[in-house]
A and B are shown apart, each in its own frame.
Chain A
Amino acid sequence: MLLTFLRIVKFALQDFYRNFWLSFVTISVLILALVSVNLLISINAVTEKIVSVVEDKVDINVILNDNASEAEINNFTIFLNNIENVQEVKFLSKEAVLEDFRQKNIGNPDIQLALDELEQNPFNNTIIIKADKPDDYEMIIQKIKGAEYQGLMDNNDFSDPKKLISFVQQLSGKVEKFGLFVAGLFSMIALLIVFNTIRVTIYTHKEEIGVMRLVGATNSFIRMPFIIESVLYAIVAVVLTIMIMYFIFQLSAPYLNTLLDSYGFSLNSYFNQNFIRIFGLELLSAVILTIISSGIAIRRYLKV
């Protein structure tokens, strides 16, 4: 049994090497399909991270005018805290706002100089409101606008952060659809190429297959090398894809790191953490699909 299996693998390897260029093209197209799937996964991961960062960053800033007394501010804060779905209400004094602004622009000497030259603090007391979910902001804004505290506020034109988030999501959705189309297209081409490769391999081994039939080789022994060969294509393609993807991560790291490194995200570590899930599933899918494809070719062109 083991001997038979080893011989089947040996014949499959012989087919693989004898039709080297055909194997090369087949594996290349499989790699294209797999790389496009992985790029799609990468785009998804980056978008998810960006959306979560944006969600985390968005809030409503209520700028208070200088006439607002401490008691009025306290009442307003209590009112805000009582609105449903408000996660946090934070009061920042004008000094704190100035300090925060200085910190955020610490690398910009022009701004620092301009702030130093100003005699007065240009900022106002501010209340920062965070909602439970991005969807809640619209309702909270309406409640604030309809409340009796309009006189305390310097601004009453709040931009809805939800719009920004949905813009990012829409954009990523479009990229994802395009990616899915490309991945689907490459997968289809890859399956057709595998089908054709096995068909050609069967044709080039016509004599050997004839002799095998003549001398009483079992049907499975005649067919199995072609199945093993297609599995080999899938395995080699997935291994090379992993190498190519990590090379792409290295190349893209400087650009992505400036954007997302401070949030503890890199594609390299994302793929490391999900290595088995992503590449295991890809290997399984590639093996199953190439087996189906070669199976159809064998059924159609290999008469035993």
Chain B
Amino acid sequence: MIKLRQVSKLYPPDTYALHKVDMHIKDREFVSVIGQSGTGKTTLIKILTAQEKPTHGRIIVGGWDITDIAFREIPILRRQIGVIYQDFKLLPRKTIFENIAFALQVCGTSRAKITKVVPQVLKIVGLHSKAERYPGQLSGGEQQRVAIARALVHHPQILLADEPTGNLDSINTREIIELLKKINELGTTVMLVTHNKEVVNLLKKRVITLDQGKLVSDQKVGKYML
């Protein structure tokens, strides 16, 4: 599903955020990418979503070589990859329903389809009863679930989670991780970027460790070792 071949990202003059990284994530896999701050985890997410271009190497997502992706093709890629962040990125003046519908509206989806799809994803994340509330009226965990629901509306093949539990307490953290596992079981490849030791140890899934931009370990059933 995701292949990185000798991928490097150099920020001038001489800082490598990623350095000759080789990685292969299979379809329906759940992978945690761990590493301390500044080891290139977020750069990896940016490269996979075409926010940044690699300095060297090749990147293939779902069989599509996106190394030199055309400007006009970037939106197509982003509809195939759902992304969630630590700060949720919800629009505070829109209701939960509107926040999710917005993701479909801006991509030209019809009103009928929006009315059908939004309750479905809200049901998956367990928030269908709170559709008319505003983000400010929800807990951190619930807000992150809304962000997950929004990331799922385009039925992405891949879900990238960039420190999704960074702002959450341990109970909400567990809930979000369980939800990510559920989404993975439904067939979506999940890449979880985190430095939360508890989360990684709880998952008992594949763990890739980055250190100073280099891939230093790749364990099939890994533990947080840094």
Residues of A within 8 A of B (CB): 3-4, 7, 207-208, 210-219, 221-222
B residues less than 8 Å from A7 (CB atoms): 105-106, 108
Q: In the complex the two chains form, what is the Cα distance from A278 to B213 in whole Å?
A: 64
Q: In the complex the two chains form, what is the Cα distance from A3 to B113 in whole Å?
A: 13
Q: How far is the CB of B154 from chain A (nearest CB, A)?
A: 7
B75 CB contact (under 8 Å) in A3, A208, A216: A216
**Contact mask B77-106 → A, CB, 8 Å, 1/0?**
111000100000101000000000011011
Q: In the complex the two chains form, what is the Cα distance from A214 to B74 in whole Å?
A: 10
A207 CB contact (under 8 Å) in B72, B77, B89: B89
A219 near B103 with CB under 8 A, answer no
A216 near B91 with CB under 8 A, answer no
Q: In the complex the two chains form, what is the Cα distance from A7 to B153 in whole Å?
A: 19
Q: In the complex the two chains form, what is the Cα distance from A216 to B154 in whole Å?
A: 9
Q: In the complex the two chains form, what is the Cα distance from A214 to B154 in whole Å?
A: 12
B89 near A217 with CB under 8 A, answer no
Q: In the complex the two chains form, what is the Cα distance from A218 to B78 in whole Å?
A: 10
B residues less than 8 Å from A214 (CB atoms): 78, 83, 89
Q: How far is the CB of B53 from chain A (nearest CB, A)?
A: 14
Interface residue? B129 (CB, 8 A): no
B154 near A215 with CB under 8 A, answer yes
B78 near A215 with CB under 8 A, answer yes
Residues of B within 8 A of A (CB): 71-72, 74-79, 83, 89, 91, 102-103, 105-108, 110, 150-151, 153-154
| A207-B89, A215-B78, A216-B78 known; A3-B110 Cβ under 8 A | yes
A-B pairs under 8 A by CB, number: 51
B residues less than 8 Å from A215 (CB atoms): 78-79, 102-103, 106-107, 150-151, 153-154
Q: How far is the CB of A284 from chain B (nearest CB, A)?
A: 29
**Shortest 3 CB-CB distances between A and B: which pairs?**
A216-B78, A216-B79, A217-B106
A217 near B71 with CB under 8 A, answer no
Q: In the complex the two chains form, what is the Cα distance from A216 to B156 in whole Å?
A: 11
A residues less than 8 Å from B110 (CB atoms): 3
Q: How far is the CB of A299 from chain B (nearest CB, A)?
A: 13
22 contacts between A and B (CB under 8 A): A3-B108, A3-B110, A7-B108, A207-B89, A207-B91, A211-B91, A211-B103, A212-B106, A213-B78, A215-B79, A215-B102, A215-B103, A216-B76, A216-B77, A216-B79, A217-B106, A218-B72, A218-B75, A219-B71, A221-B106, A221-B107, A221-B108
A residues less than 8 Å from B89 (CB atoms): 207, 210-211, 214
Q: How far is the CB of A153 from chain B (nearest CB, A)?
A: 85
Q: How far is the CB of B167 from chain A (nearest CB, A)?
A: 17
| A3-B110, A210-B89 known; A219-B102 Cβ under 8 A | no
B107 near A216 with CB under 8 A, answer yes
Instruction: Taking A211-B103, A217-B106, A221-B108 as given, write out 13 further A-B residue pairs in contact, using a Cβ cutoff of 8 Å, ordered by the A residue number.
Output: A3-B108, A3-B110, A4-B108, A213-B78, A214-B78, A215-B78, A215-B103, A215-B106, A215-B150, A216-B76, A216-B78, A216-B107, A219-B71
